[in-house]
Amino acid sequence: MPANETAPPAKKKGRRARLIVLVLVLALVAGLGYGAYWSVDGVRASFPQTTGQLKVPGLTGTVEVKRDARGIPQLYADSDDDLFRAQGFVHAQDRFWEMDVRRHMTSGRLSEMFGSGQVETDAFLRTLGWRQVAQAEFDTKLSPETKKYLQAYADGVNAYLKGKSGKDLSVEHAALKLSDDYRPEQWSPVDSVAWLKAMAWDLRGNMQDEIDRALMATKLSQAQIDELYPPYPFDRNKPIVEGGKVDGGKYTPQGGAAGGGTGTGTGSGSGNAVGTQTVTPTGTGAGTGLADNATAQGATVGLRTQLTALSDTLDKIPAILGPNGSGIGSNSWVISGKYTTTGKPLLANDPHLSPQLPSVWYQMGLHCRTASAQCQYDVAGYTFSGMPGVVIGHNADIAWGMTNLGADVTDLYLEQVKPEGYVYDNRVLPFTTREEVIKVAGGASKKITVRTTNNGPLVSDRSEELGTVGTRAPVASAAPDRGDGYAVALRWTALDPGKTMDAVFKLNRAKDFPSFRAAAAEFDVPSQNLIYADNKGASGNIGYQAPGRIPVRGQGDGRMPTPGWDSKYAWKGGKDGNTGYIPQNEMPWDSNPSRGYIVTANQAVVETGTGAGKYPYLLTTDWGYGARSQRINDLIEAKIKDGGRISTDDMRTMQMDNSSEIAALLTPMLSKIEISDPGVRAAQKLLDGWNYTQESDSAAAAYFNAVWRNILKLSFGDKMPKELRLEGSCMNVLGNGTGPADDLAKTVRECGTRDADSAQPDGGDRWFEVVRRLVKDEKSPWWSAPAKGLNKPATTTRDQLFARAMADARWELTAKLGKDQSTWSWGRLHQLTLKNQTIGTEGPGFMQWLLNRGPWNLGGGEATVNATGWNASSGYGVTWVPSMRMVVNLNELDKSRWINLTGASGHAYNAHYTDQTTMWAKGELLEWPFGKDAVEKATVDTLTLTPEGS
């Protein structure tokens, strides 16, 4: 059913949004006649034809599109070109609105669709230049074969668009057409390539952490910041690859060799500086680019203002794959056939991404009727609408999955700028500039100038708030158009043209581990953990490869913004020359480890540092902390102990594991605290005998998570600078003496500014590790909290703060769920509402009602294997989810299983709009037919695409 209309008020989106509202209101008041037209002609008219025949220009032979009861298509053709042309046609049938929005976003042209409210977003994306990089990739990097496939795909999309008006494409296009006569343009191959930049942006690693640490430095000491970013616990949570070494220009794995050690701290890596680097000018006087009165304080204050505004801008950029604050995770693991009930490997994958409607994934099979040089594909899995090929899945020989490696592939550089350019090694260099014109629906176009240094584009130019930096940074030079002395540049691997699109097609055709690794070598961005399984030999093979461009730095370790004016902090070359990236031959990999399984869940890939068994390059210092990965390791070990074997259903059960690591740590402590208030004591008793699993119907899980949220708020949240606290969360603080209206003796009202998805503390497994280390110190300063009214006394110890958090949680849940604890449940707090992107998110209420679905009450939680994430600073609502789940059976591929978050269709009220969601919420999986007979048996609709003139 449609979502209930209790969503936050829609933001203003300029003239177009107002016109949509006006048109829809007129439609409603016009009476039954026009209302009936809207519901039938405006909604159902865009449903695709799925039976019979359709002529498609450019086809050389017929293509069959066989859809099962869930509308999932399997395509059969006699040539590669026909196969990908048909894929473009079918994607457009079900998902063209999604595709159209994506290409406008990746090219910085959302304002053409949605008006002036998107100008700031477009300006930032134009500054990054995703479209220009995608064009350069297509022109100079991709193979002729890949270009041919991309063109065939684009031709298929355009064949579908031919002759169609807005209402024939989607209800969203119908709404746009009614307001401004918007008509979609032709699809191009570069539209597909540019989507890879959006993927890379959302999976870019630690950029938000880099900003947050710099902003924390305005209120916290370096020692305190280090406590909030502890080193990875190698002594407790295993990395992906254990052992191995780099020697002679190659990485060599060492099976199941023990990793050992207790972690490398924040300064580990290949000779990089420790993570306490602060940004200071290189000196004063002639030649430095700064006037004599330039100071380290000026640079620091300027940086704070720049990063605050940049963080606000990042919050407004559409996060297609997931929110920036919690980080994006995923699970994947693969079990050798010697430990499975099937005798061949089992491979599981569930990427954790932002919930959206339709799902970011589209299930599909691409099959050549007969394998030949002209038709090379027999593959099925999860695709991206708007891009040819299969991203995650299997072919007849191998299966593969992906999780985010989390490598640090971005650096922020504080630049010293002057009217004539920027400072670099005591010289002033001219900016590289380009003009961009942003067209605005219903309004005047806006022109921007993009300035670029040798470290990258000046992202700080895109904030209107940065004009105040000059008044805070005491420099005497004339002010440039932004920043008044300082600016922030972004260095990012995805801004260099690459060959990831080539890698996708090579993965789809790979037959064995060597060809899989060869494909992975071209997977430049985003950097992913790639797991592998095949059906060769007696029990098959399993493997892992870490691909991607990962920078080798000079000085600095990427934890904090660094001085852009000093070449010592630039990215340097690897051992194979001045490429600036770790050589692919030296990236970690593994094959058939003796333990019999491989787990990747965003934990450390390998232990870095010097010495035996340690990796000499720094990949990042901001891994996930291993709560999910170690739980999966433990579940596998428990199952295979004493000769046990793992089945396909065991893999599914593991995917739905709801066990909470932080609950197991804290609940025994919470249960022992003496509570005098009867209401709070009654809530405390919910924890007695609880097994720490976060089932949807669990009252104990609801109460524990509320306690956890309040512990974080009291101990950390109220100590954060306002730039990291939730927008609208206000508190009285002592004045800091920086302005004429306040001083150290006065209190001022200070309100948070951070978006709900990225506010801190978010409660993820980094915070698990922070609290794990602190609970041993019952009198840590972090346990102090000021009094608040008569009923909330000041705290100075751990147990005092825990008791106060338990009381706050009791009354919070009373307000949210009622006085009767027997009615409490985690699922009532932890709800998923699926929102159609753009109009369904911020459009008129009627359109939200038409396009959105939910809510669903979910189990799971932050950093559990069933990772239904939520941000503890902003509430309990679900912010990211297992966006799909799959289990591949390499012994009998037709017995593999899969599920999508939503459904195949992007059309509201189509039978396949959300027909997989309830099953997904329950942890159920669908049959996944692959062989011709299995597909035929599952087929309920067949559409034949024929050449023109046939």
**pLDDT digits over 884-905, tens only?**
999 999 999 999 999 999 999 9
Residue 805 has pLDDT above 70, yes or no: yes
Token pair 């990485």 in the structure block, residue = 251
Band of the pLDDT at 746, cuts 50, 70, 90?
low
pLDDT digits (tens, 9 = 90+) for 708-745: 999 999 999 999 999 999 998 898 876 554 444 445 45
pLDDT digits (tens, 9 = 90+) for 496-522: 999 999 999 999 999 999 999 999 999
- Cα 833 from Cα 5, distance rounded (Å): 11
Residue 313 has pLDDT above 80, yes or no: no
Residue 659 has pLDDT above 80, yes or no: yes
Angle CA(165)–CA(170)–CA(172) in degrees, nearest 5? 105
pLDDT, position 840? 65
pLDDT digits (tens, 9 = 90+) for 577-614: 445 899 999 999 999 999 999 999 999 999 988 877 78
Residue 34 has pLDDT above 70, yes or no: no
Tell me the pTM.
Answer: 0.90
Residue 314 has pLDDT above 60, yes or no: yes
pLDDT digits (tens, 9 = 90+) for 465-496: 443 333 333 333 333 333 457 888 999 999 99
- Cα 700 from Cα 723, distance rounded (Å): 33
Task: Share the mean pLDDT of the chain.
Answer: 86
pLDDT, position 201? 83
Least confident of 40-49, 82-91, 678-687, 722-731: 40-49
Residue 41 has pLDDT above 80, yes or no: no
pLDDT, position 905? 98
Q: Assess contact for 360 and 353: CB atoms under 8 A.
A: yes
Band of the pLDDT at 791, cuts 50, 70, 90?
confident
pLDDT, position 28? 36
pLDDT digits (tens, 9 = 90+) for 806-834: 999 999 999 999 999 999 999 999 999 99
510 φ/ψ sector (left φ>0, alpha ψ -120 to 50, else beta) = beta
pLDDT, position 732? 81
Tell me the average pLDDT across 67-93: 98
pLDDT digits (tens, 9 = 90+) for 531-559: 999 999 999 999 999 999 999 998 888 88
- The fraction of the chain above a pLDDT of 90, given in percent, is 68
Query: Residue-wise over 697-710: b if at least 16 C-beta within 10 A, else e?
Result: ebbbbbbbbbbbbb
Residues 6+ apart with CB under 8 A from 340: 346, 645, 646, 647, 891
Tell me the average pLDDT across 428-433: 96
Tell me the average pLDDT across 757-775: 95
pLDDT digits (tens, 9 = 90+) for 237-258: 999 999 899 998 999 997 533 3
Band of the pLDDT at 845, cuts 50, 70, 90?
confident
Task: Report CA dihedral (802, 808, 814, 815) to the nearest 10 degrees.
Answer: -150
Least confident of 174-183, 353-362, 401-410: 174-183
Kindly give the residue spans of alpha helices, DSSP state H, lying in 77-170.
Answer: 80-106, 111-114, 119-128, 130-140, 144-161, 166-169
Question: How far from 649 is each of 549, 885, 897, CA to CA, in Å?
Answer: 36, 13, 9
Band of the pLDDT at 629, cuts 50, 70, 90?
very high
Tell me the average pLDDT across 189-209: 87
Phi, psi angles (nearest 5°) of residue 133: -65, -40
Give the distance from CA 238 to its chain's centroid: 23
- The fraction of the chain above a pLDDT of 70, given in percent, is 83
Residues 6+ apart with CB under 8 A from 919: 899, 925, 926
Residue 920 has pLDDT above 60, yes or no: yes
- Cα 761 from Cα 233, distance rounded (Å): 20
- Cα 882 from Cα 889, distance rounded (Å): 20
Q: Is the model more confident about 176 or about 42?
A: 176
